[in-house]
Amino acid sequence: MKLPFVVLLSAVTSCVSQSTVDSAPIRTISLIPSATPTLVHSHPWRHNRTRQSQHVHEFFRLFGWLRRNDTIRDSDMPAAIQKIQKILHEPETGEYDDRMDAVMSKPRCGTLQPYNETDAKSNSTMHKKYVLWGPKWDHTTITYQFINYTADLPADRQRIIISYAFAQWTQYLPITITPSAANAPHADIHIRFMSMGPNETAYAFTNLIADGTSLSTGLINITFNDDWNWTDDRMFNFTATHEIGHSLGLSHSKVEDAVMWPYYEADIRPMHPDDQAAVHSLYGWKNPRWKRIDNNSTTKSIVQLSSNSTTPALLDGLYQMRSSGQILRFDTPSGTWASVDNNKDTIQIAGAGGALYQRHTDGSIYRYTPTSSSTWQYIGPSSDNPIDIVAAADQIYQRRKDGWIARWSGSGTTWNTIEQPSVNSKQIAVTESKTLWNLLSSGDVVRSEWPYGGGWTIVDQNAANSAIAVGGEEFYKLQTDGSVVWLDMSVPYWRIIENAGSAAIYAAGKYLYSRHGDGSIWRYTGTQLVWEQLDGSVNSVAVVGDRRGAVWELLGTGDVLRLVS
Ligand SMILES: *[C@@H]1O[C@H](CO)[C@@H](O)[C@H](O)[C@H]1NC(C)=O
Ligand SMILES: *[C@@H]1O[C@H](CO)[C@@H](O)[C@H](O)[C@H]1NC(C)=O
Ligand SMILES: *[C@@H]1O[C@H](CO)[C@@H](O)[C@H](O)[C@H]1NC(C)=O
Ligand SMILES: *[C@@H]1O[C@H](CO)[C@@H](O)[C@H](O)[C@H]1NC(C)=O
Ligand SMILES: *[C@@H]1O[C@H](CO)[C@@H](O)[C@H](O)[C@H]1NC(C)=O
Ligand SMILES: *[C@@H]1O[C@H](CO)[C@@H](O)[C@H](O)[C@H]1NC(C)=O
Ligand SMILES: *[C@@H]1O[C@H](CO)[C@@H](O)[C@H](O)[C@H]1NC(C)=O
Ligand SMILES: *[C@@H]1O[C@H](CO)[C@@H](O)[C@H](O)[C@H]1NC(C)=O
Ligand SMILES: *[C@@H]1O[C@H](CO)[C@@H](O)[C@H](O)[C@H]1NC(C)=O
Ligand SMILES: *[C@@H]1O[C@H](CO)[C@@H](O)[C@H](O)[C@H]1NC(C)=O
Ligand SMILES: *[C@@H]1O[C@H](CO)[C@@H](O)[C@H](O)[C@H]1NC(C)=O
Ligand SMILES: *[C@@H]1O[C@H](CO)[C@@H](O)[C@H](O)[C@H]1NC(C)=O
Ligand SMILES: [Zn+2]
């Protein structure tokens, strides 16, 4: 294998005075291997074709992959099982295994999704996981009524649980759902209990008649199977939450942790971001989600300092830089901005680890020290070399025109250069533990561990790599096709967490944000491919966050907004 790095131990062509070079032996270069899927063990029921076929058919009908009267031929069964395994993120062996059986032996919802040919024929799970029926309510005050009750639970308790289940969905929606007046002849949504016959494994189903765009009064029935004993009201609680999702216009989700996943558990699954994304896509939000905290058209960048300790550090907070070079800090209690510097030479600010820095047009670098008399400590001499400063962990780095990376030594104006890859650096990012990740202009990703004497290790060689981001100890990369990939270091294995659309990624603590080409802002939920939409298509140019999940965006108009709900 070709060694793409030249390690320079001498001949340092640095314009920074007193530079020193960390000694850097060449070290073994290893590519991170892919994971090999492991197979689960065999069980006697694996030979029971009747059971497998029944479960696979049910699964297909729950997702609208089968016309009601169609069946899957035995010869197509392995392909059908593979399709399910994709959803369950299992190795696609085409063999019905323990985990599939465990999932599908659970009681399920009886609501069958309308046949969707695109979905049925697609082998891909690479799209948003929630599914909508299509229609939604066209009025904002919706009513429900009980047609009858089960004898298993006091009627009062049933009313409380149903009302709670509705609130689970509507608390952030601009709609209200209440019981209809006692003497009303009908309501929008009817709730009833009915025997479904001894063979029916469904706990409940919701049927609806809709004209394609709106849901219609009196035609939506949530029917609970009265052959089940509902005395354990936890199951009633969860079943109701799921069915109510249907009554608002949601179909089954392909996210196993979502409320709208069609199999039931004894305990309620909390509302998942996938459920929330689905319902908000239909009804929007109750309150405005963003609050404008500034609107000066000359604002060029924002920076968030967020210490990792429980007590905020002195300089923690939000900063902005204007095209005039002015730097301001947001004072949360008063909601105003205070100037911390005003120098026309300032062209960049960066901050991390409780420290704020600025870079001037002449290449000089300064550190904010509000407690000392000089206020801004001169730490980097002027030079045409620095093209970018990156603050990370408790360090400040500069990327330089000559391709080098240098790190401030912590005293005076001394910078230590970090051994130079032969290919120029395009972007660097640093973990809390100070592992330095370097995206090269070739697309290769290399990393060096603190204190950087050990050389660079190649982690990826892919010309499609276009940007990197680090949050805490996690590493992410963006590719030119708009996909976002997370390095699961426990395997290690590259996992695609977004398949398309991303134009920029930002990480803060345990949070990862993505800006799409259309300007919309998304936050990763931790479930592969599932992102929560934070803002619509706005002209956003940057997103910053703190470690506790607070997030701000800068728009192209110079507006600075904070996420408030
Ligand atoms: C196979 O599974 C079906 C459906 O679950 C069940 O009714 C049948 O008893 C099973 N057969 C055997 C031999 O276990
Ligand atoms: C499905 O089968 C039932 C009974 O066999 C029949 O009445 C119904 O018309 C069929 N539906 C379709 C869509 O073929
Ligand atoms: C079928 O599913 C695809 C993908 O989930 C969706 O885009 C499309 O609108 C659906 N078609 C119908 C008729 O619901
Ligand atoms: C899906 O997979 C099946 C079997 O692997 C294949 O026959 C079919 O052409 C694939 N469909 C698409 C749309 O890729
Ligand atoms: C339903 O279950 C959730 C989660 O277990 C619980 O917080 C809630 O109080 C339950 N609702 C009622 C009405 O008991
Ligand atoms: C509830 O009403 C339905 C008709 O809508 C009926 O079929 C069912 O038997 C009733 N259930 C009870 C428990 O009364
Ligand atoms: C219900 O189960 C019984 C016994 O397993 C079977 O004979 C009958 O055909 C089933 N009925 C339906 C509608 O599936
Ligand atoms: C809901 O139940 C009522 C009777 O209680 C019935 O008239 C209506 O057609 C049902 N709606 C659907 C969609 O099945
Ligand atoms: C339902 O379960 C409860 C508690 O397990 C029991 O006391 C009650 O008799 C059961 N009801 C029926 C109709 O079986
Ligand atoms: C936006 O700008 C106008 C005019 O400069 C000012 O009056 C207003 O208070 C600003 N709004 C915010 C939220 O900053
Ligand atoms: C915008 O910011 C610039 C630089 O700080 C300042 O000079 C100007 O007055 C601001 N404009 C408004 C409308 O506040
Ligand atoms: C907090 O950050 C500092 C430097 O920024 C680092 O030395 C320390 O290990 C971090 N602590 C935790 C708990 O991550
Ligand atoms: Zn369902």
Tens-binned pLDDT, residue by residue, of the chain (565 aa): 332 332 222 222 222 222 222 222 222 233 333 333 333 344 556 668 888 999 999 999 999 999 888 999 999 999 999 999 988 888 899 999 888 988 998 889 999 888 888 888 877 655 567 788 878 888 999 999 999 999 999 999 999 999 999 999 999 899 999 999 888 888 899 999 999 876 567 888 888 665 566 776 656 889 999 988 899 889 899 999 999 999 999 999 988 889 999 999 877 889 998 899 899 988 988 888 999 999 999 999 999 998 877 788 899 999 999 999 999 999 999 999 999 999 999 999 999 988 999 999 999 999 999 988 889 999 999 998 899 999 999 999 999 988 889 999 999 999 998 877 778 899 999 999 999 999 999 999 999 999 998 889 999 999 999 999 999 999 999 999 999 999 988 878 888 899 889 999 999 988 999 999 988 899 998 888 888 889 887 899 999 999 888 999 999 999 999 999 7
Q: List strands edge to edge, sheet with 405-408.
A: 20-21, 415-418, 405-408, 395-400, 386-392
Examine the residue annotation and report whether 95 is marked as an active-site residue of this protein.
no
* Domain edge (last residue) among 283, 317, 351: 283
Is the residue at 38 inside a domain?
no
Ligand 9 pocket test target in 149, 150, 152 with most atoms within 8 Å of CB: 152
Q: Please indicate, yes or no, whether residues 389 and 521 belong to a single structural domain of this protein.
A: yes
Residue 268 in contact with ligand 5 by CB distance below 6 A: yes
Taking the C-alpha atoms of residue 89 and residue 92, their distance in angstroms, rounded to an integer, is: 8
Is the residue at 39 inside a domain?
no
Q: Please indicate, yes or no, whether residues 212 and 168 belong to a single structural domain of this protein.
A: yes
Q: Please indicate, yes or no, whether residues 423 and 445 belong to a single structural domain of this protein.
A: yes
* Domain edge (last residue) among 283, 306, 327: 283
Encoded tokens for 399: 């990327």
Ligand 12 pocket test target in 305, 308, 470, 510 with most atoms within 8 Å of CB: 308
* Domain edge (last residue) among 249, 283, 317: 283
Domain containing 299: what range? 290-563
Is the residue at 487 inside a domain?
yes
**Contacts of residue 364, Cβ cutoff 8 Å, sequence gap at least 6:** 378, 380, 381, 382, 383
Residue 48 in contact with ligand 1 by CB distance below 6 A: yes
What CATH number did the domain enclosing 60 receive? 1.10.101
Encoded tokens for 563: 């996420």
Is the residue at 214 inside a domain?
yes
What CATH number did the domain enclosing 251 receive? 3.40.390.10
Residue 459 in contact with ligand 5 by CB distance below 6 A: no
Q: How many domains are contained in the chain?
A: 3
Is the residue at 200 inside a domain?
yes
User: Cα(394) to centroid of ligand 12, in Å?
Assistant: 8
Query: What percent of the chain stands above pLDDT 90?
Result: 58
Which residue minimizes the CA distance to atom 12 of ligand 2?
69
Q: On the CB side of 426, how many CA atoms lie within 13 Å of its CA?
A: 16
Q: Please indicate, yes or no, whether residues 92 and 171 belong to a single structural domain of this protein.
A: no
User: Cα(238) to centroid of ligand 8, in Å?
Assistant: 23
Encoded tokens for 90: 């299992």
Concatenated DSSP letters of 383-414: -S-EEEEEEETTEEEEEETTS-EEEE-SSTT-
Element (H, E) at 119: helix 117-121
Q: Please indicate, yes or no, whether residues 484 and 516 belong to a single structural domain of this protein.
A: yes
Which residue minimizes the CA distance to atom 2 of ligand 10?
295
Q: What is the pLDDT of residue 68?
A: 80
Taking the C-alpha atoms of residue 409 and residue 239, their distance in angstroms, rounded to an integer, is: 60
Residue 292 in contact with ligand 10 by CB distance below 6 A: yes
Residue 229 in contact with ligand 12 by CB distance below 6 A: no
Q: Please indicate, yes or no, whether residues 334 and 410 belong to a single structural domain of this protein.
A: yes
Ligand nearest to the CA of 295: 10
* CB 345, CB 376: distance < 8 Å: no
Q: Please indicate, yes or no, whether residues 247 and 379 belong to a single structural domain of this protein.
A: no
Phi/psi zone of residue 261: left (φ > 0), alpha (ψ -120 to 50 degrees), beta?
A: beta
Is the residue at 346 inside a domain?
yes
Pick the catalytic residue: 243, 419, 498, 553?
A: 243
> For ligand 3, what atom is nearest to the CA of residue 131?
5
What CATH number did the domain enclosing 388 receive? 2.130.10.10
Q: What is the pLDDT of residue 556?
A: 94
Q: Please indicate, yes or no, whether residues 145 and 116 belong to a single structural domain of this protein.
A: no
Q: Please indicate, yes or no, whether residues 259 and 355 belong to a single structural domain of this protein.
A: no
Q: What is the pLDDT of residue 369?
A: 94
Taking the C-alpha atoms of residue 390 and residue 418, their distance in angstroms, rounded to an integer, is: 14
Is the residue at 54 inside a domain?
yes
Is the residue at 1 inside a domain?
no
Q: Please indicate, yes or no, whether residues 335 and 357 belong to a single structural domain of this protein.
A: yes
Q: Please indicate, yes or no, whether residues 338 and 480 belong to a single structural domain of this protein.
A: yes
Taking the C-alpha atoms of residue 314 and residue 331, their distance in angstroms, rounded to an integer, is: 12
Q: List strands edge to edge, sheet with 540-545.
A: 290-295, 559-563, 551-555, 540-545
Residue with tokens 């800090």: 329
Ligand nearest to the CA of 197: 7
Task: Confirm or deny that 196 is annotated as ligand binding.
Answer: no
Task: Confirm or deny that 227 is annotated as ligand binding.
Answer: no
Residue 96's φ and ψ, nearest 5 degrees, are: -65, 120
- Residue-wise pLDDT tens digits, 36-90: 333 334 455 666 888 899 999 999 999 999 988 899 999 999 999 999 998 888 8
Residue with tokens 């070290």: 27
Q: Report how far apart the first and last C-alpha atoms of the chain are (Å, whole number).
A: 52
Q: Please indicate, yes or no, whether residues 80 and 223 belong to a single structural domain of this protein.
A: no
Reported pTM: 0.75
The alpha-helical segments, DSSP class H, found in 216-345 are 233-247, 273-283
Residue 75 in contact with ligand 3 by CB distance below 6 A: no
Taking the C-alpha atoms of residue 338 and residue 553, their distance in angstroms, rounded to an integer, is: 19
Ligand 8 pocket test target in 147, 217, 219 with most atoms within 8 Å of CB: 219
